Amino acid sequence: MIPVSEPDLGALERSYLLDAFDSGWISSRGAYVERAEDLLRTLTAAPHAAVCSNGTTALHLALLAAGVGEGDEVIIPALTYVATLNAVYYVQAVPVVVDVLDSTWCIDPAAVERAITPQTTAIVAVDLYGQTADYRELRRIADEHGLILIADAAESLGATLDGRAAGSLADISTFSFFGNKVITSGEGGAVTTPRADFHTAILQLRNQGNHPTRRYFHDIVGYNYRMTNVAAAILTAQLERASELIAQRRRVVDEYERLLAADERLRGQEIAAGAAPTPWIHSVRLTGRSAVERDAVITALAERGIESRPVFPLVQDMPFVPAAQRTPTPVAAAISREGISLPTFPRLEASAIAQVCQALRDVLSSFADGE
Ligand SMILES: *Cc1c(COP(=O)(O)O)cnc(C)c1O
């Protein structure tokens, strides 16, 4: 089976991991935590970076640091991983779900503007499948209405917009280092920000609300969202290899585009002017297909030894979302219904990519023949 995703862990990860183990520093103190944070600052050009336990706790820390709380409205896109929504609920805020752009699949700034009310305090944009959201427009809107702009950059480490790196495009940006992400530490996350006040709050919240100087004194309710030095050792190695890992993924995505671009039955994410996405998971729309047909394609590919996935379901369709929060988002609904994610990882060979593309074309043709 060709998997959708596979981490690329090599000799460097192994040596740093064993070094952390042998040092005895296996909890959240140790040199690798700081090394990983240094590398993240360099890679994102963000003045401050704090690693944490995963991408979901990174989002929670971002909302807490931004002061988002009970009754506040937070605008999020319909098309994202459920963690973006969950974090809004963690702080007792109200998610206001808006539609995405047909072109980039990222949050639609015009829809954001229409959704603003006196209760709105923050926007969480999501860099879907490695493509940065439209932070030029989002910045203008946030400034005009006094809102905090948060970037869920879990999928976009290495991407740029107008030459500025993901992690430096919003007031606070969050990353995930889950096993299928561009850079992984098994489980892990990070928060970057240009603002010293946000960074100070994040460090305290991540560490049980511990007062910066008084031991065992906690002046706020905090969390244990720390990353272990063991995970940070793997992360440090991955970050040192970031350009190599991203280049390998780029090769894979370029090959998919070369082989599939001419196929009119498929439509990919369009790249916005000035944007250079990071190649995370190559996803395409099976234009005009129903969700049932898309799922049949996934099953048919699996029968040919190829794992694929549906594009994310809409967050507001989750059963725990109250009826009043289930905004209709037709563009996101169409992408979600037609979308399929193909195997994308650094070690995926050209022959396997060709096999995936051939299988996809064969399956689509068999559909046209009325299978
Ligand atoms: C992966 C991901 C997250 C959550 O990250 P975890 O590390 O799995 O908690 C959040 N948002 C998006 C868009 C993601 O893709």
Summarised one tens digit per residue, pLDDT across range 289-312 is 999 999 999 999 999 999 999 999
Q: Is 341 in the pocket of ligand 1 (CB under 6 A)?
A: no
Ligand 1 nearest-atom number relative to CA 155: 15
Task: Please tell me the class of the 242-368 domain.
Answer: alpha beta
Domain coordinates in residue numbering, the chain: 11-240, 242-368
Ligand 1 nearest-atom number relative to CA 187: 7
Main-chain dihedrals φ then ψ at residue 339, nearest 5 degrees: -80, 145
Main-chain dihedrals φ then ψ at residue 257, nearest 5 degrees: -65, -40
Listing from the earlier edge strand, what are the strands of the sheet with 283-286? 266-268, 283-286, 339-341, 309-310
pTM for this model (two decimals): 0.97
Count the neighbouring beta carbons within 10 Å of the beta carbon of residue 215. Answer: 6
Placement of tokens 């998610």 in the chain: 95
**Span 230-282, pLDDT tens digits:** 999 999 999 999 999 999 999 999 999 999 999 999 999 999 999 999 999 99
Ligand 1 nearest-atom number relative to CA 127: 13
Q: Is 108 in the pocket of ligand 1 (CB under 6 A)?
A: no
Among residues 234, 226, 230, the alpha carbon closest in space to that of 190 is found at 226
Listing from the earlier edge strand, what are the strands of the sheet with 160-161? 164-165, 160-161, 275-276
Q: Is the pLDDT of residue 24 over 60?
A: yes
Q: Is 54 in the pocket of ligand 1 (CB under 6 A)?
A: yes
Which residue pairs from 108-111 have beta carbons closer than 8 angstroms and sit at least 24 positions apart in sequence?
Answer: 108/77, 108/331, 109/134, 109/137, 109/138, 109/141
Q: Is the pLDDT of residue 371 over 60?
A: no
Q: How many CA atoms lie within 13 A of 129 on its CB side?
A: 27
Nearest CA to ligand 1 atom 14: 154
Q: Is 189 in the pocket of ligand 1 (CB under 6 A)?
A: yes
3-class secondary structure, 275: strand
Is 11-240's fold the same as 242-368's? no
| Residue 196 to residue 210: CA distance in whole angstroms | 17
Q: Does 3.40.50.11540 match the CATH number of domain 11-240? A: no
Residue 212: pLDDT band (50, 70, 90) is confident
Partnered with residue 50 across adjacent β-strands are 191
Q: Is 61 in the pocket of ligand 1 (CB under 6 A)?
A: no
Count the neighbouring beta carbons within 10 Å of the beta carbon of residue 171. Answer: 20
Partnered with residue 94 across adjacent β-strands are 73
pLDDT at 369: 65
Q: Is the pLDDT of residue 211 over 90?
A: no
Nearest CA to ligand 1 atom 3: 55
- 68, 269, 346 from 64: Cα distances, Å: 6, 32, 35
Ligand 1 nearest-atom number relative to CA 189: 7
Residue of 155, 234, 235 to test ligand 1 pocket, by largest number of atoms within 8 Å of CB? 155
- Residue length of the chain: 371
Question: Beta strands 148-152 and 94-98: pairing type?
Answer: unpaired
Q: Is 127 in the pocket of ligand 1 (CB under 6 A)?
A: no
DSSP 207: B
DSSP 1: -
Q: Is 84 in the pocket of ligand 1 (CB under 6 A)?
A: yes
- Mean pLDDT value across the chain: 97
